[in-house]
């Protein structure tokens, strides 16, 4: 039996899909490079925005319609959020966010009994569902060290979909990292739903980073994202001393207006955010700091948006990921008055233009300077990779994948 996996959404989903793939291969299934060659299709879904939700539903319906004889497995956040809607589609195996690690077993059970398996667990108080991988599909390997969120930002549905904060066994993280490094992964990205909240028997995120840095062949450690409130003195000390930690942090700001931050139920104000960024840059002057910003949050005025724009420009992010506000039923923000779509669109374009300018400014700092690039793919005779501060580099010759080269940045 051949299977294919389609993944929507975040790095956590990518990690989980990688685990599902590995567990199926170990059970004797064959991975199909193309969907058309598969007997089984697994779709790992996302619900973070209306757009993500719609894409997942549309894709599932398309597969259901065009490939009626396929064994269809649909899992993840969109299922968790819309279980009854998916149930109507007569899907073979339907799971929310619990028991993804058992998909291989569920498929084998389905093949044996031909009985549909539909399971949902709406309890927030869940254990960490442990998964262990020894190889990853990309050059940069992910390790999911945390799941769930307790922040309850007023716009976000994810705490309801992923449950409470919980963390992976500290020793298991180090064991998994060693497996990955022994399979020639030189860079590891630590990821989670709220990665900075990691806490396992007294070990925090910094302890994980420092312990990983002791692995001799591991060259780089990166975070997928971290909240500004978690950049404490211990983290700052790690930034000073840990040479394996990448010169890049993704710190979601979400808004540069105090009025909007308060309505979002974020745990900081603009001054706090800017002061933290300044402290980081005192330690690492050339660090790349990227961010997420939501525009058109309910009741966001033009003045609020202009504050966000000016503060983003003042901070000099190296890239801004801009998201027009997306209403999620069940959140507190959905009770507030929405900003008109045309305003959302205008503000989105304006902030994206700023992001392009800031990105170019940051890149120009490194022109004609030596940088170290981890080669991730070879395409049409060009070697493509990233520096530790996440500059994308294209080198017009074929180099060895999974190796780091020092070159002049053009």
CA-to-CA distance for 107 and 44, rounded, in angstroms?
Answer: 15
CA-to-CA distance for 312 and 316, rounded, in angstroms?
Answer: 6
Q: Output 356-363 pairs: Cβ under 8 A, ≥24 positions apart.
A: 358/312, 358/313, 358/316, 358/317, 358/318, 358/319, 358/320, 359/318, 359/319, 361/316, 362/288, 362/316, 362/318, 362/319, 363/391
Tokens 């705490």 correspond to 159
Q: Beta-carbon neighbour count of residue 278 at 10 Å?
A: 10
Nearest Cα neighbor of 224 from 392, 11, 390 is 11
Confidence class of residue 381 from pLDDT cuts 50, 70 and 90? Answer: very high
Q: For the chain, which residues make up each domain, given as ranges? A: 2-119, 140-288+295-316, 370-408
The pLDDT value recorded for residue 270 is 98
- 279-310 confidence digits (pLDDT tens): 999 999 999 999 999 999 999 999 999 999 99
The pLDDT value recorded for residue 91 is 96
- Dihedral angle of Cα 76, 78, 79, 80, to the nearest 10 degrees: 80
Nearest Cα neighbor of 365 from 307, 296, 302, 318 is 318
Confidence class of residue 90 from pLDDT cuts 50, 70 and 90? Answer: confident
Structural tokens at position 274: 């800017």
Structural tokens at position 271: 């001054």
The pLDDT value recorded for residue 187 is 97
* 60 CB-side CA count, 13 A: 31
Mean pLDDT of 111-136: 94
- The answer to whether residues 371 and 387 touch, using CB atoms and an 8 Å cutoff, is yes
What DSSP designation does 367 have? T
CATH number, domain 140-288+295-316 = 3.80.30.20
- 152-201 confidence digits (pLDDT tens): 999 999 999 999 999 999 999 999 999 999 999 999 999 999 999 999 99
- 10-30 confidence digits (pLDDT tens): 999 999 999 999 999 999 999
Mean pLDDT of the chain: 96
CA-to-CA distance for 125 and 171, rounded, in angstroms?
Answer: 23
Over 82-138, what HEC string results?
CHHHHHCCCCCEEECCCCHHHHHHHHHHHHHHCCCEEECCCCCCCCCCCCCCCCCCC
Mean pLDDT of 227-247: 97
Q: In terms of CATH, what superfamily is 2-119?
A: Methylthiotransferase, N-terminal domain (3.40.50.12160)
- 48-66 confidence digits (pLDDT tens): 999 999 999 999 999 999 9
CA-to-CA distance for 185 and 403, rounded, in angstroms?
Answer: 9
CA-to-CA distance for 82 and 92, rounded, in angstroms?
Answer: 16
Q: Is the pLDDT of residue 261 over 90?
A: yes
Phi/psi-derived region of residue 28, left when phi > 0, alpha when psi is between -120 and 50, beta in every other case: left
| Percent above pLDDT 90 for the chain | 99
- 67-85 confidence digits (pLDDT tens): 999 999 999 999 999 999 9
The pLDDT value recorded for residue 34 is 92
3-state secondary structure of 253: coil
The pLDDT value recorded for residue 257 is 98
Record the pTM. 0.95
The pLDDT value recorded for residue 290 is 98
């Amino acid at each position: 039996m051949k299977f294919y996996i389609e993944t929507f959404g975040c790095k956590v989903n990518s990690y989980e899909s990688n685990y599902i793939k590995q567990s199926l291969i170990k059970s004797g299934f064959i991975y199909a490079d193309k969907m058309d060659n598969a007997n089984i299709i697994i779709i790992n879904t996302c619900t973070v925005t209306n757009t993500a939700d719609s894409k997942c539903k549309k894709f599932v319906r398309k597969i259901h319609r065009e490939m009626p004889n396929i064994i269809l497995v649909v899992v993840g956040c969109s299922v968790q959020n819309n279980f009854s809607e998916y149930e109507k589609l007569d899907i073979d195996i339907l799971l929310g966010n619990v028991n993804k690690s058992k998909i291989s077993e569920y498929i084998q059970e389905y093949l044996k009994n031909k009985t549909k398996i539909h399971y949902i667990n709406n309890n927030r108080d869940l254990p960490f569902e442990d998964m262990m991988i020894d190889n990853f599909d990309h050059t940069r390997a992910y390790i999911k060290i945390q799941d769930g969120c307790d922040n309850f930002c007023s716009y976000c549905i994810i705490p309801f979909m992923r449950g409470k904060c919980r963390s992976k066994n500290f020793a298991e993280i180090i064991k998994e990292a060693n497996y990955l490094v022994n399979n020639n992964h030189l860079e590891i990205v630590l990821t989670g739903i709220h990665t900075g909240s990691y806490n396992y028997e007294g070990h925090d995120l910094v302890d994980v980073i420092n312990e990983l840095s002791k692995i001799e062949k591991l060259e780089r450690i990166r975070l997928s994202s971290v909240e500004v409130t978690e950049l404490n003195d211990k983290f700052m000390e790690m930034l000073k001393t840990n040479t394996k930690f990448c010169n890049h942090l993704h710190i979601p700001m979400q808004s540069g207006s105090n009025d909007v931050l308060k309505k979002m139920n974020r745990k900081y104000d603009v001054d706090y955010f800017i002061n933290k960024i300044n402290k980081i840059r005192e330690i690492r002057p050339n660090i790349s700091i990227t961010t997420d910003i939501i525009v058109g949050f309910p009741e966001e005025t033009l003045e609020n948006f202009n504050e966000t724009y000016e503060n983003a420009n003042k901070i000099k992010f190296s890239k801004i990921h801009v998201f027009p506000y997306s209403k999620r039923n069940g959140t507190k923000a959905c009770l507030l008055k929405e900003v008109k779509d045309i305003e959302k669109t205008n503000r989105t374009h304006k902030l994206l233009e700023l992001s392009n300018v800031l990105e170019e400014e940051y890149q120009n700092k490194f022109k004609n300077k030596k940088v170290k690039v981890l080669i991730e793919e070879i395409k049409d005779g060009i070697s493509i990779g990233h520096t530790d501060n996440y500059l994308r580099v294209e080198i017009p010759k074929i180099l060895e994948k999974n190796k780091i080269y020092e070159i002049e940045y053009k």
